[in-house]
């Protein structure tokens, strides 16, 4: 009896120890503030669109995250994260900013699910403005900041392997697959990514490239037809008026074979922390090539230089970028310029006040230029 009690006590202690080694936490960010944004179109006919908004996620997207880790023994851990954006007005999509599970150990880490792309990792890790939402960063994944064409894809569903660190050096590789083959007709996309990073003291650098091949379905040809009407007098006519429609007009469509579109994103960055200030440079290039003979649909590149400096409880930051945006084999060649300036004030480790302003100039042609400007003021709380 005494031995049984001792064995039961030992098992209870082991069970308690095992449970203590697993954990689940809730974290997130609430960002609320005021935004003043304008779009000036300077062309043959000028136009101006202005919006003033009090809302959420103005400097950084508000989000709610559930994450956890379990010690599996033998140096092996199981980790997971579910991160969802809060817009303040629209329904939340569970896991839109991260929905993944991971095994981590001496071999490195193996992660599967919705996660940052390699390009987004470069942007968020090296941006001295903190990869913020206001306009003015040419590395942004939003279309407006990129002069009408997205700078990079932010998230994807993939399987990703990262090596352990060897003297500050790590390497990563990822694959994604989302294709359907219906009786020989393919749709969807396949992708692969490779990257490396290096950290030595106050210096850090990273470089990577991602490729996604999308299957574009064939298009059947359609003969154009005019609308046909029936009059009260029993006459068939192509004149609308008050006549009865028999057949709607059909627009002619030229037949097109199925083809592949290959998108490549290359990014590279470096930073150095001088103590009084940290500086960085980020390069991003995105291309899209079609296999149907139409050639290069997009060729976009940008270079952004940034600096951030602590000043008491505040952090000051500034970024300046230049780039170009070519479409349709260079038939449209647009110059891009952008900047961001701002400051964060640390009321505490979790509560931050901010002010930031930014601008993007998208020179579409010699006679046309779009200018985006935005200023935001607000408060963030981390939990």
User: According to DSSP H, which parts of 21-153 are helical?
Assistant: 118-126
Rama region for 264: left / alpha / beta (φ>0; ψ in -120 to 50; rest): beta
Contact, 80 vs 102, CB < 8 A? yes
Reported in sequence order, the residue ranges of 5-137 that DSSP labels E, i.e. its strands, are: 22-42, 47-56, 62-73, 76-86, 98-105, 108-116
Q: For the chain, which residues make up each domain, given as ranges?
A: 22-218+256-382, 219-255
- Tell me, what's the pLDDT at 38? 95
Query: For residue range 62-98, what is the model confidence (pLDDT) as tens digits?
Result: 999 999 999 999 999 999 999 999 876 666 789 999 9
The fold adopted by the segment(s) 22-218+256-382 is Porin (2.40.160)
Element (H, E) at 20: helix 2-20
Range with top average pLDDT, 148-152, 309-313, 324-328, 366-370: 309-313
Average pLDDT over residues 224-253: 92
- Tell me, what's the pLDDT at 8? 38
- Tell me, what's the pLDDT at 12? 45
Instruction: Calculate the average pLDDT of the chain.
Output: 91
- Tell me, what's the pLDDT at 237? 92
Q: What angle do CA 37, 42, 43 make, to 5 degrees?
A: 145
- Tell me, what's the pLDDT at 226? 94
User: According to DSSP H, which parts of 89-204 are helical?
Assistant: 118-126
Query: What whole-number distance in Å separates Cα of residue 370 and Cα of residue 344?
Result: 29
- Tell me, what's the pLDDT at 150? 83
Contact, 149 vs 336, CB < 8 A? no
pLDDT band at 22 (very low <50, low <70, confident <90, very high): confident
- Tell me, what's the pLDDT at 19? 47
Q: What is the pTM of this model?
A: 0.85
- Tell me, what's the pLDDT at 15? 46
Q: Are strands 236-237 and 244-247 parallel, antiparallel or unpaired?
A: unpaired
Q: Is the pLDDT of residue 377 over 50?
A: yes
Contact, 338 vs 137, CB < 8 A? yes
Which two three-digit tokens encode residue 133? 């939402």
Average pLDDT over residues 213-222: 88
If one counts every other C-beta atom within 10 angstroms of the C-beta of residue 17, the result is 10
Average pLDDT over residues 125-135: 96
Average pLDDT over residues 264-272: 98
- Tell me, what's the pLDDT at 5? 41
pLDDT band at 178 (very low <50, low <70, confident <90, very high): very high
Element (H, E) at 333: strand 332-346
Average pLDDT over residues 194-207: 98
């Amino acid at each position: 009896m005494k031995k049984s009690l001792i064995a039961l006590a030992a098992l209870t202690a082991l069970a308690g120890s095992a449970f203590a080694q697993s954990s689940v936490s809730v974290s997130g960010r609430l960002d609320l503030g005021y935004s003043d944004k304008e779009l000036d179109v300077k062309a043959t006919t000028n136009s101006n669109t202005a919006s003033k908004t009090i809302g959420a996620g103005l400097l950084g997207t508000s989000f709610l995250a559930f994450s956890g880790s379990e010690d599996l023994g033998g140096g092996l851990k199981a980790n997971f994260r579910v991160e969802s954006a809060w817009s303040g007005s629209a329904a939340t999509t569970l896991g839109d900013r991260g929905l993944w599970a991971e095994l981590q150990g001496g071999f490195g880490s193996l992660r599967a699910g919705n996660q940052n792309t390699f390009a987004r990792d470069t942007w968020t890790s090296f941006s001295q403005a903190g990869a913020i939402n206001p306009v003015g960063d040419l590395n942004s994944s939003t279309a407006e900041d990129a002069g009408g064409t997205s700078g990079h894809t932010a998230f994807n569903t993939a399987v990703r392997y990262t090596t352990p660190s060897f003297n500050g050096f790590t390497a990563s590789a990822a694959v994604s697959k989302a294709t359907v083959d219906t009786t020989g007709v393919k749709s969807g996309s396949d992708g692969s990514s490779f990257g490396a990073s290096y950290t030595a003291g106050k210096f850090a650098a990273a470089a990577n490239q991602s490729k996604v091949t999308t299957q574009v379905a064939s298009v059947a040809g359609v003969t154009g037809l005019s609308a046909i009407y029936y009059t009260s007098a029993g006459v068939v006519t192509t004149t609308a008026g008050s006549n009865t429609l028999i057949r709607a007009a059909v627009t002619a469509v030229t037949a097109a074979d199925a083809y592949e579109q290959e998108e490549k994103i290359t990014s590279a960055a470096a930073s150095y922390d001088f103590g009084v200030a940290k500086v960085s440079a980020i390069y991003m290039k995105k291309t899209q090539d079609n296999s149907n003979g139409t050639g290069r649909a997009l060729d976009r590149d940008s270079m952004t230089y940034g600096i951030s400096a602590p000043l008491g409880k505040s952090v000051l930051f500034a970024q300046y970028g230049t780039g170009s945006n070519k479409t349709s084999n260079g038939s449209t060649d647009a110059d891009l310029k952008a900047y961001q300036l701002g400051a964060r004030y640390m009321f505490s480790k979790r509560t931050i006040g901010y002010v930031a302003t930014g601008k993007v100039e998208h020179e579409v042609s010699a006679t046309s230029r779009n200018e985006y400007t935005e200023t935001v003021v607000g408060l963030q709380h981390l939990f």
